């Protein structure tokens, strides 16, 4: 029974048809919750236009309140998919001319030796060859020759967004997505709220709610499991919700197609930060049994948004744990989750 009803535009067009087969997924997620010592978890699964799975477990470690439908988890790096959509909007609107434009076209004050040869494509696919060293941005490899998951490229992309538009990521997402679709359980939070779930840590650090500015760059984006699934559903349906085209379909074709430089054949594959795996890369986070063209975005707290176009499905799982205990294999876990979802939805 739903106690805290969502009324956003996507929720309004979804039917409820719960499947007992999904108990296998709930049991799996609960077992992992115990293994990693998370205090909270959630699952939300949509297939076609039906919510076929919705499950909540555990409690907020700071308040001891039970996890419910409107509980909001910090999604950490999964926020990059929101930034990726902003980049697609800028390309569509002509604020960024081309995905393969040099970033120096948009950043006048960047060091020429650092920026040489780096394009927007490199920034959104983690192939820029940059990193921060003692707070300074350095180039450690030629762009398009290596893949490295760090925040260096994201920091430049954020500057490009600000300098080409005068707006930040949060303002863009609110204008183009959150407000038109009436999302109320997604936001970069500056103050504590009852719905926010604190993270627990592998260290002795006390549970904490991460708060920061609301520009859309920092790691303080809190989203409910259902609204994160709605975010995936928006991508799955290429901006068309219940017959209304809220955003051009081209945006989602850009963000979820493989954009990694073609010469990088044996590495992670990315769209605009979304992960793909058409090259059977062994270290990919996508399960080996997922259909081709599936895509996924992940966050440090254990959350994932998995979109499977072949099944017209979106699967979200949430945890509130930072750090992995001895004996826990995160890569194997996230692959197993995807494989399990695929086997049940097939």
pLDDT in tens, 262-315: 999 999 999 999 999 999 999 999 999 999 999 999 999 999 999 999 999 999
Indicate the SS3 state at residue 33. helix
167, pLDDT greater than 60: yes
Report the pLDDT averaged over residues 17-39: 97
The dihedral sign for the CA sequence 274, 340, 300, 266: negative
Tell me what pLDDT residue 2 has. Answer: 62
* The token pair that represents 20 in the structure block: 């007992």
DSSP H/E element including 113: helix 112-115
State the Cα–Cα distance between residues 114 and 142, nearest whole angstrom: 10
Which tens digits make up the pLDDT trace of 83-136? 999 999 999 999 999 999 999 999 988 988 899 999 999 999 999 999 999 888
Report the pLDDT averaged over residues 326-330: 97
Question: 112 Cβ partners below 8 Å, 6+ apart?
Answer: 104
Strands (E), the chain: 15-16, 40-47, 50-58, 72-74, 130-133, 136-139, 186-188, 200-201, 221-224, 240-241, 244-245, 269-270, 275-276, 295-298, 304-308, 313-319, 321-322
List the domain boundaries for the chain: 9-345
Instruction: Please give the mean pLDDT across all residues of the chain.
Output: 96
Tell me what pLDDT residue 4 has. Answer: 75
151, pLDDT greater than 60: yes
**DSSP per-residue string spanning 214-262:** SSS-SS-EEEEHHHHHHHHHHHHTTTEETTEESS-HHHHHHHHS--S-T
230: phi > 0 → left, psi -120 to 50 → alpha, else beta; which?
A: alpha
Q: Which is higher by pLDDT, 172 or 3? A: 172
Q: Assign domain 9-345 to its CATH superfamily.
A: DD-peptidase/beta-lactamase superfamily (3.40.710.10)
CA 196 to chain centre: 18
Tell me what pLDDT residue 6 has. Answer: 80
DSSP annotation of 76: G
72, pLDDT greater than 60: yes
Which tens digits make up the pLDDT trace of 199-233? 999 998 999 999 999 999 999 999 999 999 999 99
175, pLDDT greater than 60: yes
State the Cα–Cα distance between residues 108 and 323, nearest whole angstrom: 38
DSSP annotation of 185: S
């Amino acid at each position: 029974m739903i106690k805290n009803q969502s009324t956003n535009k996507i929720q309004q067009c979804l039917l409820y048809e719960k499947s007992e087969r999904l108990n296998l997924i709930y049991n799996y997620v609960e077992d992992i919750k115990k293994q990693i010592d998370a205090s909270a978890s959630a699952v939300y699964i949509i297939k076609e236009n039906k919510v076929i799975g919705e499950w909540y477990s555990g409690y907020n470690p700071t308040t001891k309140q039970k996890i419910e439908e409107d509980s909001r988890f910090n999604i950490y790096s999964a926020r990059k998919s929101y930034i990726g959509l902003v980049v697609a909007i800028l390309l569509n609107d002509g604020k960024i001319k081309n995905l393969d434009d040099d970033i120096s076209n948009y950043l006048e004050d960047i060091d020429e030796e650092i920026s040489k040869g780096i394009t927007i494509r490199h920034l959104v696919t983690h192939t820029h060859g940059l990193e921060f060293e003692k707070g300074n941005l350095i180039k450690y490899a030629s762009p398009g020759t290596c893949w490295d998951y760090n925040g260096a490229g994201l920091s430049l992309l954020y500057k490009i967004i600000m300098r080409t538009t005068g707006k930040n990521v949060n303002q863009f997402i609110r204008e183009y997505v959150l407000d038109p679709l009436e999302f109320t359980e997604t936001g970069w939070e500056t103050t504590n709220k009852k719905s926010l779930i604190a993270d627990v840590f592998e260290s002795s650090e006390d549970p904490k709610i991460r708060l920061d500015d609301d520009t859309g760059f920092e790691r303080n984006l809190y989203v409910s499991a259902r609204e994160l699934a709605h975010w995936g559903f928006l991508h799955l349906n290429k901006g068309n919700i219940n017959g209304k085209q809220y955003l051009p379909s081209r945006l989602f074709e850009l963000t979820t197609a493989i954009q990694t430089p073609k010469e990088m054949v044996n590495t992670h594959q990315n769209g605009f930060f979304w992960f793909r795996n058409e090259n059977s890369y062994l270290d990919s986070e996508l399960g080996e049994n997922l259909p081709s063209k599936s895509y996924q975005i992940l966050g440090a707290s254990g959350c994932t948004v998995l979109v499977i176009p072949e099944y017209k499905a979106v699967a979200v799982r949430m945890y509130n744990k930072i750090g992995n205990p001895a004996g826990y294999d995160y890569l194997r876990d996230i692959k197993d989750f995807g494989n399990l979802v695929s086997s049940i939805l097939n």
